[in-house]
Amino acid sequence: MVEEVEKKQVASSSEVEEGEIIGDETAALKPGVELVSKHPLEHSWTFWFDNPQTKSKQVPWGSSIRPIYTFSTVEDFWSVYNNIHHPSKLAAGADFHCFKNKIEPKWEDPICANGGKWTVTFSKGKSDTSWLYTLLAMIGEQFDHGDEICGAVVNVRSRQEKIALWTKNAANEVAQILGVVSGFHLVEYIDCVVNLGIMLDIH
């Protein structure tokens, strides 16, 4: 009896191909299964880019804005951010947006139509750090009344750069002042030396 068992074991091992793993099949990784689980964000966000080379005075404003990538996890955000130019490396006239998914960075968008924007101005080439911290605070839901925020944009111009937070409802004074400005305190703390001022524009 023992001899028969040994013969079966030898026959079974001889059928194993080179490189094949012997053991429980569930131990092998299945196709499409990720080793590390991702960390979801509360909202999905979309990067948009307005290329200055495609802008024309003969076309409506905003027609040259194009969506770049939509992300919904911390890992996906960093994979995109680490492979795109920072504001200081963008050409003058470029606008780079990060808005909640399905909200277009245009005042014509119904969600933005009754809103406003808080804008911080920086010297040329000095907004990189503040732009990153604005994005992190925004997608990480660090702003009070974060549901009022539509997104953020960095405007690169020949002599200066501007970072603006777009909000949904300009009539909501509590959310506009207490919420958004308190969030900008983080940005001002990080880059307060190059910050040239903050202002509110109501659409």
Domain residues for the domain of 195 are: 46-202
CATH of the domain at 103: 3.30.760.10
* Calpha distance 180→177 (Å, rounded): 6
Quote the pTM value: 0.72
| Residue 177 lies inside a defined structural domain of this protein | yes
* Calpha distance 46→151 (Å, rounded): 9
Tens-place pLDDT, residues 141-179: 987 777 888 999 999 999 999 999 898 877 666 555 555
Overall number of domains in the chain:
1
Per-residue pLDDT, 116: 84
* Calpha distance 76→92 (Å, rounded): 27
Tens-place pLDDT, residues 88-129: 999 999 999 999 999 999 989 999 888 888 888 889 998 999
